[in-house]
Amino acid sequence: MRKLIGSVSSQRDSLVIRIIYETGCSLKELAGIKVSDIAGNMIRTGKAARFSQISGKLSKDLKLYTEGNSIKKESLLFDISGRRISQLTESHAEKILGTRLTPHDLRNLHIMHAYLNGVYLENIAGQTGLSELRIFQIISSFNVKPERNYGNFLKRT
């Protein structure tokens, strides 16, 4: 992911990829984010007014982007369609990584990486708006060996 994010030269495109990966938001949620939905290290995503955490660096970069492009508070953060978001995500991944990654793939990577870093399923569910069962199904689809995670589990007990 670092290679992909670090190699995208367009500020907007880089922010699109980073938001999907850091929040685990869906394509529809990303397309609907307004500037007013960003509050410090949180972004409001979805109709349920769910807040997702973002890094301080992403928060700072979003502020620079909105101020630099004179985007008003009530405006959409990115005035691009969901289809265009998919196209740019897929094209950058193909050019940089040599593989096709959709926004949905980035969302699933967020879920998997959070899980591998010891984040509890209920917290991942809260961040992404998915059920714990769906989170478990996504994690299972990656075929991660259970013993790889027991070290983190034992450290918490």
Rounded CA-CA distance 13/85 in Å is 8
DSSP assignment letter at 37: G
pLDDT value, residue 79: 92
Rounded CA-CA distance 126/45 in Å is 11
- Mean pLDDT of the 92-97 span: 93
Query: What SS3 class is residue 145?
Result: coil
Domains of the chain: 2-156 (1.10.443.10)
pLDDT value, residue 145: 56
- Considering the chain, what percentage of its residues have pLDDT values greater than 90? 69
The predicted-structure confidence for 123-154, as pLDDT tens digits, reads as follows: 999 889 899 999 999 999 887 654 444 455 44
- Mean pLDDT of the 68-76 span: 94
Is residue 114 within 8 A of residue 24, CB to CB? The reply is yes
Amino acid at residue number 95: K
- pTM across the whole model: 0.84
pLDDT value, residue 56: 92
Over its C-alpha atoms, the chain yields an Rg (Å, rounded) of: 16
Tell me which of 25-39, 57-71, 133-147 is least confident.
133-147
pLDDT value, residue 2: 83
Dump strand ranges (E) for the chain: 38-39, 42-45, 50-53
pLDDT value, residue 156: 47
The predicted-structure confidence for 39-54, as pLDDT tens digits, reads as follows: 989 998 876 678 888 9
Average pLDDT value for the chain:
88
